[in-house]
Each structure stands twice: as C-alpha cells, then as structure tokens.
C-alpha cells in the first residue's frame, strides 16, 4: 500500500504578487558586483542590513511580505555589496513546487507536534506548503514515504534522527532533494542536522539523579532498534553511572512502545523486581506519566517511595501530580530554525552546517533523595 502524506497548510500566491516579485528580482540581479575577491554572501547582506538571513531571503523571493523600511535596508545592502544570488539555485527554483515534506516517527507524541507546528509556521511565512507523514518508527515505511514525497515533487525533506540506510541519502542526492535531520546532534556526523545531544542531555539528568543519592536505577525506554534518540539516552545514563563509580551493567532497562499504558506496565514490572529501584528514569514524558499513574494505583508515594523522571518537557509534565522532573527540549526553536535552514539550502545561499541546541534540566517534584538506607 502506497504511503501517503497529508497537507497541513497551503498558501496560494496571486498573479499580481508574482509580477511584483519578478520585477524586484530583475532589478536586484542585474546589478554588477561591487567588489572583487570573495563574492558577498547572504550573511554579508544580513549583517549590513541588520536583519536575519531569513529576512534577506524573504525580501529577495517575496518582497511583498517584508515591511517597507526593512525591505529598503536590505535592497540598499544588496546594492552596496554587489550581492548576486546563486544563479544555478535560481534556475532550479523555477522548477520548484514550493512544498517541503516532513516524516515524523509518530503523530501521538506531543513533542513532534509542537516542533512541526513551528516548522510549518516558518515555512508559511516563506510561501511553502508542508506535507507530513508518519513512519510508526518503521524504517521500511519511512523509506516508502521518502520516495513517495519525492515523487510528488517535495523540494526538500525534514527527517527525524540518523537511523536509516545510507542508500536513502544517496537516493535523495541523486534527485537533488536537500535533506535535514532534526531532534539529534552528533558531532562529526556528516549529515546536516539540527537538534541536541541526546546522550549528554539524559546524562546530565542521570548525574543529578546520582547526586541525589540514588544507586539502584531502572530505566523505561522506547524501543531502540530504529530509534537512535532512545539508544543515545540510555548511553547517557550508563556514562553517568560509570563516571560516578557505578556499574553500567546494573542499569535495569525495560523497552516498550510509546503510550501511557505501556509506561505504567513497565513501571509495575520494575517495582516487582526482588530488589526495587529507588528511581525509575523514563525516556520520555509520556512513559513517565504512565509510571506516575501506576505508582498511585499501587499505593506508592512519589518521590517518597520511588522517584520518577521523564524527558521532553511537554505540557503534561507540569500537569502531573507531583510535577515531573524532566529535560526541556527546545522543540519550537528547533522547528523554526529547521525551516530556515532548509529554505537556505534550497536557495543555495549558504553552505549548510549542523546546529546544536541546548536541552535543559527541569528539576521539579518527582525527584528526591531515596528514603531507604540501602541507597543512602
């Protein structure tokens, strides 16, 4: 069965706006370069005009979307520098559909929904339509969707995580479809990405857990076979344990699929062990919410009887009782920056480079020192 993507947003252009846009381009591109040596870049124009590269790009591609004073500053900077847009990229632009595809692992995780919403908002400001599909964490489905979106004319793709066959990247390169990976950052990985270091972020939380006095740690994880974010977070906990003189092999891991119910079931298994953990760390907030609900059902007080932590900092994390200790992921910032990066890649305005964002600890009420003496 062919994988289908559905349209989240469509923004038609009117003929009059297109005519003004073409006239503005003709005036700008016909100017000779004002200096020799290295050609001025989009970043040079942005710096001189005191605006972002996204604003410069918008001014050149959709001048009617930029306020008069800002547009005037940008055009003056273009003239003063003798900036000439990448002509090869402009030729390719004539063949564009003004659509960008995004394939996310699941529609059920609020963290993806919020990031993709910000991604769409930024694309809309630049006149792009967003197509979204879900792979259900299955590589075969993702590969089918990549080929489907490409066949339907997607100009560029946003993918989640690095866990896929290198053949996919070769396929996209052969089709001249730019691709950006999000929700991860791995130093040294040649594939351009925007995200955070999952290992470091979960490792920081684990260090806080250990500083609180916990030694018996259980971990509820999403399935790791096709989810590099999940496996990296487990490695972060193991690294923190090793740094603090604990045996990483003592980490008890329960893998399960993404849902509140499954988080609760895994928590109950953890607490049924002959030696109970003093803390149950969870790979995301939904699994942690399930653990909290099951703890209450079992008559356990959090954090008196057991501490629980999450990851992502979705709205649910502040609504639980007690409020969940977790890691805040900058999902909306990531979504908007991802859109800007893909547009820049399409325009050929700058050499793409990976961007690392910061994920911060949110220390709330579900983490406290253990009460029984074995862990103190």
Strands (E), 166-311: 179-182, 193-195, 217-222, 252-256, 279-282, 307-309
pLDDT, tens digit, 9 for 90 and up, residues 135-181: 988 999 999 999 999 988 999 999 999 989 999 999 999 989 999 99
The answer to whether residues 162 and 111 belong to one domain is: yes
Give yes or no: residues 181 and 258 share one domain.
Answer: no
Q: Do 269 and 122 share a domain, yes or no?
A: no
Is residue 136 in some structural domain? yes
| Same domain for 370 and 240 | yes
Angle at 259 between CA 162 and CA 265, to 5 degrees: 120
Whether 278 and 246 map to the same domain: the answer is yes
Distance in angstroms (rounded) separating the CA atoms of residues 55 and 74? 9
Residues 6+ apart with CB under 8 A from 256: 220, 221, 222, 223, 262, 263, 265, 266, 287
SS (H, E, C) 66-98: CCHHHHHHHHHHHHHHCCCCCHHHHHHHCCCCC
- The predicted-structure confidence for 330-359, as pLDDT tens digits, reads as follows 999 999 999 999 999 998 877 789 999 999
**pLDDT over threshold 90, residue 4:** no
Global pTM value = 0.74
Same domain, yes or no: 39 and 162: no
Q: Residue 158 sits in a domain of what CATH number?
A: 3.40.50.2300
Q: How many domains does the chain have?
A: 3
State which of 91, 110, 144 marks the end of a domain: 91
6 belongs to a structural domain = no
Kindly report, residue by residue over 76-96, the tens digit of the pLDDT.
888 788 776 654 455 455 578
Q: What is the pLDDT of residues 215-236, one digit of tens each?
A: 999 999 999 988 999 999 999 9
Q: Which of 68, 91, 114 is the last residue of a domain?
A: 91
Query: Residues 191, 299: one domain?
Result: no
Residues 225 and 266 both lie in one domain? yes
Give the residue among 247, 265, 245, 268 at the shortest CA–CA distance from 256: 265
Do 166 and 86 fall within a single domain? no
The more confident residue out of 185 and 34 is: 185
Contact between 127 and 8 under an 8 Å Cβ cutoff? The reply is no
Residue that terminates a domain, selected from 91, 114, 140: 91
Owning domain of residue 256:
198-329+361-375
């Amino acid at each position: 069965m062919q994988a289908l993507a559905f349209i989240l947003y469509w923004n038609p252009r009117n003929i009059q706006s297109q005519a003004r846009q073409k006239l503005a381009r003709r005036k700008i591109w016909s100017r000779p370069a004002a200096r020799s040596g290295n050609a001025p870049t989009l970043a040079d124009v942005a710096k001189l005009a005191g605006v972002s590269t996204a604003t410069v790009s918008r001014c050149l591609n959709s001048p009617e979307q930029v306020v008069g004073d800002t547009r005037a500053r940008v055009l003056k900077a273009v003239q003063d520098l003798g900036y000439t847009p990448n002509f090869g990229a402009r030729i390719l632009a004539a063949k564009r559909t003004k659509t960008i595809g995004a394939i996310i692992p699941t529609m059920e995780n609020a963290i993806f929904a919020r990031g993709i919403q910000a991604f769409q908002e930024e694309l809309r400001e630049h006149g792009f339509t967003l197509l979204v599909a879900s792979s259900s964490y299955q590589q075969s489905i993702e590969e089918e969707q990549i080929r489907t979106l490409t066949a339907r004319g997607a100009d560029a793709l946003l993918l989640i995580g690095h866990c896929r066959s290198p053949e996919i990247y070769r396929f996209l390169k052969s089709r001249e479809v730019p691709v950006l990976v999000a929700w991860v950052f791995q130093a040294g990985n040649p594939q351009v990405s925007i995200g955070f270091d999952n290992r470091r972020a979960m490792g920081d939380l684990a260090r806080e857990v250990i500083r609180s006095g916990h030694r018996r740690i259980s971990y509820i994880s999403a399935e790791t076979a096709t989810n590099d974010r999940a496996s990296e977070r487990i490695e972060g906990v193991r690294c923190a344990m090793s740094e603090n003189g604990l045996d990483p092999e003592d980490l008890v891991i329960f893998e399960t699929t993404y849902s509140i119910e499954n988080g609760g079931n895994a928590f109950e298994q953890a607490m049924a062990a002959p030696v109970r953990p003093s803390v149950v760390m969870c790979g995301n907030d939904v699994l942690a919410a399930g653990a909290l609900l099951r703890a209450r059902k079992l008559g356990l007080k959090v954090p008196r009887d057991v501490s629980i932590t999450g990851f992502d900092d979705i709205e649910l994390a502040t609504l639980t009782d007690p409020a969940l200790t977790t890691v805040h992921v900058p999902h909306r910032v990531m979504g908007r920056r991802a859109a800007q990066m893909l547009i820049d890649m399409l325009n050929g305005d700058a050499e793409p480079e990976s961007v690392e964002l910061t994920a911060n600890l949110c220390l709330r009420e579900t983490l406290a020192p253990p009460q029984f003496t074995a862990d103190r």
